[in-house]
Structure 1
Amino acid sequence: MSEYFIAVPKFLNLEQRLSKFPPNFKFSKDFCYYYIAEIIRESMKKHTSQNTKIESVINQFIPRSSVIMQSISRQSKRHIDYLYEDFFGEGRLLHRKNYGPGECYSYRLPEYFWGDGELEIIKISEHTLVKNIKKKKKPTIHNTVKKRFNFVCGYFSPKAFEIDDQEALKDLYTEYKVSGNYKQYLSNVLKVVDFKNSHFPFYHRPNTDGRLHTAITSFPKICRKYLKYGNEPLAEVDLSASIPFFLSYILNLTIKESQPYNILHNQIYNKNILSLYMLVKSSVSLSSKEVEDFKALVLNDTIYDNFMDKFLNAPNFEFYFESKFGNVFDGDVSDLRKYSKSRFLSMLFAKNNQFQWEQETLYEQFPTIHEFIKVFKQLKLKNTKSTDRHKRLSYLLFQLESHFMLNIVAREINNKFKRKIPLFSLHDCIITKKSDIDIISEQVHDIFIREIGYAPNLKMKVWE
């Protein structure tokens, strides 16, 4: 059966227009819904303002190519003209901006039809229309994924996945009413729609973060509990403090291996970053005690706790905490730990002239590690803009994470269980069915012990 799902405002009442002013040609209601849904989708993409309120997001004219629309439906022009027609007592269902040189007509849905902004998912099922849409909307699969991680793609089976999209959209709308961020709401709704359409793209950028980006990694966190695979909830094995863990790994290699290049050249995709690491290694003398102490904090899962009191007493703590969480600090230790984690990671990945208090705190306890990080982010290297130098530390750590979680852990589990256990990656997590989570956790632990001699803290969580 041909079907395709789209999102439109709940307040949109196309049926009323059709009953009052029936079209005098062979009319496709499905095409009209699709056309409106595409304007809504492009509104989210085109919106670049810092203002994320609904009025800012929806009041944009979206260019629409007549050639593309003709390839979807031969009668597209007549349908669009019908939606634009200013019927007495009904008005226009679309506003139009006339084209200029080199420009298409642009359209937007009048603010009235957005109502309070709540969206719903509807199904269109005209066979030829759905066939033409799917032909135009094939998901992107990067060549590097096909070459290196093609084994991951096979687990994204449309028949195996189930999603309760109605409950997911309810939660997203409730979240929007609290945050007021309509752009984020619209973006998340469209991710749910894409998942329901089995639109599964795969992105991998080896020269930057090296992470695999999929429909799972982009899926709204608040909606994960509504996903099932083979009639089961999904569950995750998460590397606790993964970024500090891989930082401790690279620091440990630096002090213990005479030739770390021989190990790292197979683990880091971007060879410029590897060359940078070798330069930093030769210019900074790390303290073995510092590295061991830092590693111990990571393996005990107390690295963020270690800095909590210092960050609590930082200048403007109250302002930054409220900016982060939207409420004042009430003494909740778990909130303070989240804040400490946020500031620590932000410091690692920011420019050296930012997060000065956090840098001083790190320097007090780990001066040579602080120097290693600082030099890594400021050292000049060919083909790197001065404004982008600080990003290289994040690239290094994310690429190590990707190597171990995808190329080693996920690949080995895939080969061992021969696709009998579903497997998905979410950066520092491995995702599987609830019934398989204990097996996967054991595998992840054992593989890290074998590969580097110790394992990160692993936390299991069921998506329900």
Structure 2
Amino acid sequence: MSKKILYKNQTTRKLSRNEKQRITIANLALIPSVIKNYIDTLVKVYRPTFTYKLKVEFFYYIIVTIIRRQNTYENKALENIPVALNATVLRGIKSDYNEYIDWLIEQEVIFKAENYVAGNSSNKYCFANFILPSLKEDSGSEIVEMEALKSNTIIVARSIEESEVYEDNKHLLKWFNDGLEIDFERAVTYIKDLSYYEGEIFDLTHKKVHWNHQILALHHKAFYATRNEESDFRLHTTLTNLKKIFKPFITYEGQELIGYDLKNSQPFFLIFLIDSIINNNDRISYILSKVYSKKTYNSFMLQNLRKRLSTESFQEEYKMFKTWVLNGEIYENMESIIKPKKRLGSYFANKYNARKKVTEIKKVDDVRALMKGVIFTLFFSGIKTRNSNYKIFKEAFPNLVDAIELFKGNDNAVFSKLLQNIESECIIDFVSRKIAKEYPEMPLFSIHDSLSTTENYALILEDLMPKYIFEYTGLTPKIEEEKWKKHHYQVDYVKRVELHPEWYAYNDF
């Protein structure tokens, strides 16, 4: 069987036009109690008059969507950042959706932070200063049902089995059931007593709002799953947005979970991408055509890439970089090029704060973390970045960086989307599907570039994951074990308690 046929048989089915016009939302949602009570009281006393029949559940839906969008990988700081709402989805649920948003703004529940500029930005919303103090003081949440929003165009999924992505990803999503549990009381106590996080002491109150939302979703089995072929194509679930600090509290049917991460996954998939273009791999051809427009993919970009990749100067640089990545020595070798210097016993990096639109100096724990930041800048910054480390690396690998910049074109975000699509096709649609077919009784959970299972299946997963990654890519991966119960953050926590007992209430971890 050819690679092309094998690949197509395992690709997630595309939705028909009629299916795309229908919108699926989860029935169960978590909303902060203080906001729900405030909205319920105002609706009862000062009932708003809208164009169509009032559905108070739509207020809840807007609030929950803002929290969920704030609770993403991009918002690592878990701040009250402004987030965009999908107007197409909102309009599909309620054609008069703007009246609901305007009412929430008038009641000082949310705040419109950025005006729409055609072609540049969308309206963005966050919680208003009026509601924030109450939200921080009372982090309790309530489960609400969205059944009232059901219509001819709206499907309300009463369980994860009814989500629009379930059938195509059943081999992973079927394990989101009553067996997946969190030690809720210990997790709540952990959040309550935590005052020192990621090397800094600062106000954690808004983080704790998000953390409570994450663990409550697991506690109440409010499972959800999404996968957008038009975006990163990653499978997003209740677990993918869970902070690592809560992994020690998660079990499946009482058993510890053990995960295996693909080390240096983004550089690894870059190597696969370049090798595949050189060798005309059908898998990559399909993904490229999906991510880029036909005009870009079929003409200028691909021609220029193949020309660039075939030069002797590129091959020289690429051979060295590829060796670093596959040997798991990329960060150590990059250090010898960047030659970072310590100041006051620590490393510091310039990081651009998109919300404040300024570059800030941030303390970095160690040189490895600093080099990871350099890779992140190399892959995901704009080609006009002024980052000094980017320039140093480009001087050492001018041809490699030029090739990466060709992938970025006028939009650096498209390269990130490309690598995430490759990762997702490999891990979700090939590796995990192969493992699930061979061992259908094995619980299997994905978190982007990693797969996890229960302790009694760990050795099987450890053996099969690199085997099938190699089968997909032709490259030998480095896999790293992660025991959820013994997550490194727990070690850090204990260590910091010993060093700074005045900052902690130690909870017998």
TM category, shorter = 0.5 to 0.7
Deviates more, 1:364-373 or 1:112-121: 112-121
The answer to whether residue 185 in structure 2 is matched with residue 161 in structure 1 is no
The one-letter code of the counterpart of 1:163 is: I
Equivalent of residue 392 in structure 2, options 341, 356, 361 = 361
The one-letter code of the counterpart of 1:340 is: M
Question: Alpha-carbon deviation of 1:223?
Answer: 0.7
2:292 corresponding residue in structure 1: 272
The answer to whether residue 256 in structure 2 is matched with residue 225 in structure 1 is no
Q: Counterpart of 1:353 in 2: which secondary structure?
A: coil
1:92 corresponding residue in structure 2: none
The answer to whether residue 434 in structure 2 is matched with residue 412 in structure 1 is yes
Question: Alpha-carbon deviation of 1:196?
Answer: 1.5
Distance, in Å, in 2 between the alignment partners of 1:4 and 1:241 is 35
Q: Contact 1:160/1:229 (CA < 8 Å) preserved in 2?
A: yes
1:252 corresponding residue in structure 2: 275
Change (3 A) 1:147 1:42: closer
2:444 corresponding residue in structure 1: 423
Q: Counterpart of 2:416 in 1: which secondary structure?
A: helix
The one-letter code of the counterpart of 1:189 is: N
Distance, in Å, in 2 between the alignment partners of 1:254 and 1:463 is 37
Tell me the number of residue pairs that the alignment of Structure 1 and Structure 2 aligns: 374
Change (3 A) 1:393 1:304: same
The one-letter code of the counterpart of 1:373 is: I
1:320 corresponding residue in structure 2: 349
Equivalent of residue 316 in structure 2, options 276, 289, 306 = 289
Q: Contact 1:237/1:441 (CA < 8 Å) preserved in 2?
A: yes
Question: Alpha-carbon deviation of 1:106?
Answer: 3.5
The one-letter code of the counterpart of 2:399 is: T
The answer to whether residue 374 in structure 2 is matched with residue 374 in structure 1 is no
Q: Contact 2:446/2:452 (CA < 8 Å) preserved in 1?
A: yes
Question: Alpha-carbon deviation of 1:441?
Answer: 1.4
Q: Contact 2:269/2:419 (CA < 8 Å) preserved in 1?
A: yes
Distance, in Å, in 1 between the alignment partners of 2:140 and 2:189 is 9
Q: Contact 1:176/1:185 (CA < 8 Å) preserved in 2?
A: no
The one-letter code of the counterpart of 1:153 is: L
**Residues 54-107 of structure 1: per-residue CA shift (max 9 Å, x gap):** 9999xxxxxxxxxx9xxxxxxxxxxxxxxxxxxxxxxxxxxxxxx999747847
1:84 corresponding residue in structure 2: none
Distance, in Å, in 2 between the alignment partners of 1:374 and 1:56 is 29
Q: Contact 2:78/2:210 (CA < 8 Å) preserved in 1?
A: no
**Residues 148-171 of structure 1: per-residue CA shift (max 9 Å, x gap):** 3233221111x2112111221233
Distance, in Å, in 1 between the alignment partners of 2:184 and 2:458 is 25
Distance, in Å, in 2 between the alignment partners of 1:56 and 1:298 is 35
Q: Contact 2:291/2:418 (CA < 8 Å) preserved in 1?
A: no
Q: Contact 1:163/1:227 (CA < 8 Å) preserved in 2?
A: yes
Deviates more, 1:239-248 or 1:433-442: 433-442
Asked which structure has the greater CA Rg, the reply is 1
Q: Counterpart of 1:234 in 2: which secondary structure?
A: strand
Moved over 6 A (4+): 3-6, 36-40, 45-48, 52-57, 99-102, 107-113, 129-137, 139-144, 314-317, 321-327
The one-letter code of the counterpart of 1:237 is: Y
Deviates more, 1:107-116 or 1:228-237: 107-116
Change (3 A) 1:433 1:269: farther
The answer to whether residue 329 in structure 2 is matched with residue 299 in structure 1 is no
1:438 corresponding residue in structure 2: 459
The answer to whether residue 382 in structure 2 is matched with residue 351 in structure 1 is yes
Deviates more, 1:265-274 or 1:236-245: 265-274
The answer to whether residue 212 in structure 2 is matched with residue 193 in structure 1 is no
The one-letter code of the counterpart of 1:416 is: E
Q: Counterpart of 1:206 in 2: which secondary structure?
A: coil
What pairs up with 1:232-243 in 2 under 5 angstroms? 232-243=255-266
- Backbone CA RMSD of aligned residues: 4.5
Q: Contact 1:140/1:203 (CA < 8 Å) preserved in 2?
A: no
Q: Counterpart of 2:261 in 1: which secondary structure?
A: strand
Distance, in Å, in 2 between the alignment partners of 1:190 and 1:184 is 10
**Residues 197-241 of structure 1: per-residue CA shift (max 9 Å, x gap):** 211211112222121111110112111110100101211110000
Change (3 A) 1:309 1:350: same
Question: Alpha-carbon deviation of 1:42?
Answer: 7.8
Q: Contact 2:259/2:450 (CA < 8 Å) preserved in 1?
A: yes
- Identity of paired residues, percent? 19
Q: Contact 2:351/2:362 (CA < 8 Å) preserved in 1?
A: yes
Distance, in Å, in 2 between the alignment partners of 1:116 and 1:403 is 40
The one-letter code of the counterpart of 1:154 is: K
Change (3 A) 1:461 1:115: closer
2:478 corresponding residue in structure 1: 457
2:54 corresponding residue in structure 1: none
Q: Contact 2:338/2:393 (CA < 8 Å) preserved in 1?
A: no
Q: Counterpart of 1:301 in 2: which secondary structure?
A: coil
The one-letter code of the counterpart of 2:385 is: Q
Q: Contact 1:210/1:269 (CA < 8 Å) preserved in 2?
A: no
Question: Alpha-carbon deviation of 1:457?
Answer: 0.4
Distance, in Å, in 2 between the alignment partners of 1:100 and 1:231 is 43
Distance, in Å, in 1 between the alignment partners of 2:329 and 2:474 is 20
**Residues 366-416 of structure 1: per-residue CA shift (max 9 Å, x gap):** 2211110112212xxxxxxx4xx1111111111111111011101001111
Q: Contact 2:29/2:222 (CA < 8 Å) preserved in 1?
A: no
Question: Alpha-carbon deviation of 1:434?
Answer: 2.1
Question: Alpha-carbon deviation of 1:144?
Answer: 6.7
1:79 corresponding residue in structure 2: none
**Residues 222-277 of structure 1: per-residue CA shift (max 9 Å, x gap):** 1111010010121111000000000111122334x1x33x3423455725265475
Structure-2-length-normalised TM-score: 0.61
Q: Counterpart of 2:232 in 1: which secondary structure?
A: coil
Deviates more, 1:184-193 or 1:318-327: 318-327
The one-letter code of the counterpart of 1:302 is: E
Change (3 A) 1:107 1:282: closer
Distance, in Å, in 2 between the alignment partners of 1:354 and 1:248 is 23
Distance, in Å, in 1 between the alignment partners of 2:376 and 2:29 is 41
The answer to whether residue 367 in structure 2 is matched with residue 336 in structure 1 is yes
Distance, in Å, in 1 between the alignment partners of 2:341 and 2:439 is 50
Distance, in Å, in 1 between the alignment partners of 2:318 and 2:79 is 49
Q: Contact 2:172/2:444 (CA < 8 Å) preserved in 1?
A: yes
The one-letter code of the counterpart of 1:394 is: S
Change (3 A) 1:147 1:283: farther
Distance, in Å, in 1 between the alignment partners of 2:100 and 2:145 is 31
Q: Counterpart of 1:237 in 2: which secondary structure?
A: strand
Change (3 A) 1:445 1:358: same
Q: Counterpart of 1:209 in 2: which secondary structure?
A: coil
